[in-house]
Each structure stands twice: as structure tokens, then as C-alpha cells.
Amino acid sequence: MRIATYTHEGRTRCGLVDGDTIRPLPDGIGPLNVPGDVRTGEPVPLAQVRLLPPVQPSSVRDYVTFEEHVEGVRRSVEGRGGVPDAWYDAPTFYFGNPHAMIGAHDDVPIPPGCHAFDFELEVAAIIGKEGADLTPEQARDHIYGYTVFNDWSARDLQSREMQVGLGPCKGKDTATTLGPWLVTADELEPYRDADGFLRLALTVSVNGTEIGRDLLSNMGWPFEELVAYASRGTRVRPGDVLGSGTCGNGGCLAELWGLRGRQDPPPLKPGDVVEITVEGIGTVRNTVVAGADPLPLPKARPRPRQRPA
């Protein structure tokens, strides 16, 4: 199934995507609880609806699973080459902002104060049932489906703030595209290769010019292992979103900047259109628009470090 969340004629509801139409689901049925024998309403043309993120995440974990991406973007953001030894030990992730999700065709504002705006071509797995301390084999049954994930990034803000020794904060806080719909896991099983990875073609273009092309199967870990690691010592819950991390070979501008030693292609600007297509899932297409100016905030004030008596 392909399950969309959308607005049409002032109502927000879920539906099943069928070609170029959506068949509305009955009220009370959400994207994660669609029965197999559900009855749908009269089809609505996709062109007449606004696609929303297919789920409102309970949490967002974004991984960094593509070795080629790490090589390029580390040089661009941190000024260092190579891949850290620790990368190979486990699938590292940071927690994203679950309140910053935008739809497949929504405009995306440039974050306040950003002068190096970037996209990230990713795929996300969506959890369908709760679990803890899962094995990879168990974790497969907890993945309800997949969607396209674009982790918009303010590279200049990210580069500065990560010098403090924590993960990105305002560099990744303004918008994440999730869409165009959720494709249930069974639909993508035919793409699974002999090593257990989903072999899906990934492409991204800016203003009609292709920037990157890769395969999802170039991940260092399959999604089942990402879910298993996420559940270690804690719980994954329905609606949790786990991003693959950015693919290589032009999956973001920063990777290319690091490899080429200059901002080529240039950072995104208002009016740029970024289109991402993932085989077996679909296409998201967002237009960059001007964002708000940053409101003034004072720098830290040195304090005398007094102690209580």
C-alpha cells in the first residue's frame, strides 16, 4: 500500500494512493493502522490535494550510514578528511526535530542567518509497533514502511556549532521533508538484494540539473540493524522515523564542496527547486524561499565563577 496524509476541501485525512488519485480512508483510520480489507471512498485526483508528511513523528533519528558521504561532508563541515574509525563500530545517529516536518511539495524557508543552505537525499523507515532490545531479525517486523526524507541543512551554522562538541542543532532545525507518502514494507521486498539491503535508485536535481545519483544498498547497515541499534536499552514506538543518512555521489552539496574544495554547485537560494526521487517510493519537489532574519541574541557573558559559601 501507498498511504498518504493530505488536505482536501478543508479536511485533513488519510488515503490510499492509486495511480494519480487518492482513495480516502474512513475517519479514524490513520496511516499506521490501515486494515487490509478497508473500504475507501470516491477517488480524489492527486493534483487537487496538498500532501502532508505521511506521519507526524513521535521521534526522529537520523543516521550517517554512507561511507562516501562521510568522506566528503566531513572535509566540508569539519575541515578534516577521511572517515573516523568510530564510524565503523556502530550506526551513529542524532535526534532531529519531529515538529519540523514539511510535505512533499511545500516551500522550505532558509533558516535565519544561514548562507550555505543544503539538501540531503535520504530514505526513512517508519516504525509500526513498539519494541525494545530487538535483534535485526525481530526489527524487520517492526518496520511498517518507508518514505523519502530530505534533511535540509544550514551548513555554515552546523559547522560553527559542532565545534562545541555536540551534534547539529540549529543547523538541522528548520525543515525536513517527509513524503510523498508511506510505502508499506512489503511493497519494497522485491528490491531486497542477497545481502539484505534494499537496492533502490536515488536521484536528486536542482532546477532540473541532476546533482547526485546513488543506490540505497550502499548503506553500511541495512534498516533492520538501524532499528535494532535504536532499540538497544530503550524502546522504539509507532511513528518513530529513522533516516538512512545522506547517500554518497552528490547526495548533498556539502559532500561535493568538500571533495572539490569550493562551493560548487553553489548553496541553495530562494527560487531553487530541489527534486528527489527514490525508486519504488516516489518523488518530492520543494521550492526554497527566503526565511526570517535572525532575532538578536547576546553572546555568552564571562562570569566570575562564584561558589556558594
pLDDT in tens, 25-35: 999 999 999 99
Mean pLDDT of all residues in 49-62 = 98
**81 part of a folded domain:** yes
Shared domain for 77 and 45, answered yes or no, is no
Q: Is residue 302 part of a domain?
A: no
The model's pLDDT over 219-262, given as tens digits with 9 standing for 90+, comes to 999 999 999 999 999 999 999 999 999 999 999 999 999 889 89
Residue 303 included in any domain: no
Instruction: Assess whether 16 and 149 both reside in one domain.
Output: no
Residue 259 and residue 236 in one domain: yes
The alpha carbon of 150 is separated from its chain's Cα centroid by a whole number of angstroms, namely 4
Same domain (yes/no): 139, 44: no
25 domain-assigned: yes
Same domain, 205 and 137: yes
Domain count, the chain: 2
Q: What is the pLDDT of residue 23?
A: 97
Task: Using the predicted structure, report yes or no on whether residue 76 has a pLDDT greater than 80.
Answer: no
Q: What CATH number corresponds to the domain at position 6?
A: 2.30.30
The answer to whether residues 98 and 42 belong to one domain is no
Question: Is the residue at 66 inside a domain?
Answer: yes
pLDDT at 306: 95
Report pLDDT for 73: 82
Question: Looking at the whole model, is its pTM more than 0.75?
Answer: yes
The answer, yes or no, to whether residue 195 has pLDDT greater than 90, is yes
Percentage with pLDDT > 90 across the chain? 92
Domain boundary among 33, 52, 71: 52
The answer as to whether 245 is a domain residue is yes
pLDDT band, very low/low/confident/very high, at 63 (cuts 50, 70, 90) = very high
Quick: pLDDT tens for 258-309. Answer: 889 899 999 999 999 999 999 999 999 999 999 999 999 999 999 999 999 9
Considering the domain architecture, whether residues 171 and 27 belong to the same structural domain is answered as no
Residues 105 and 134 in one domain: yes
Q: Are residues 173 and 48 in the same domain?
A: no
The mean pLDDT value for 204-222 works out to 98
**In the prediction, which pLDDT does 249 show?**
96
Instruction: Tell me: pLDDT of 75 over 90.
Output: no
Write the CATH number for 242. Answer: 3.90.850.10
> Domain range spanning residue 47?
2-52
Q: Judge if 67 and 210 occupy the same domain.
A: yes
d(CA 177, CA 123): 11
What's the whole-number average pLDDT of the chain?
96
Residue 214 in any domain: the answer is yes
In a domain, residue 295? The reply is: no
Taking 80 as the threshold, does the pLDDT of residue 116 lie above it? Answer: yes
Q: In this structure, is the dihedral angle defined by the CA atoms of residues 269, 74, 215 and 52, taken in order, positive or negative?
A: negative
My answer on whether 247 and 228 are in the same domain is yes
Examine the pLDDT at 154 and tell me if it is beyond 80: yes
Same domain, 71 and 99: yes
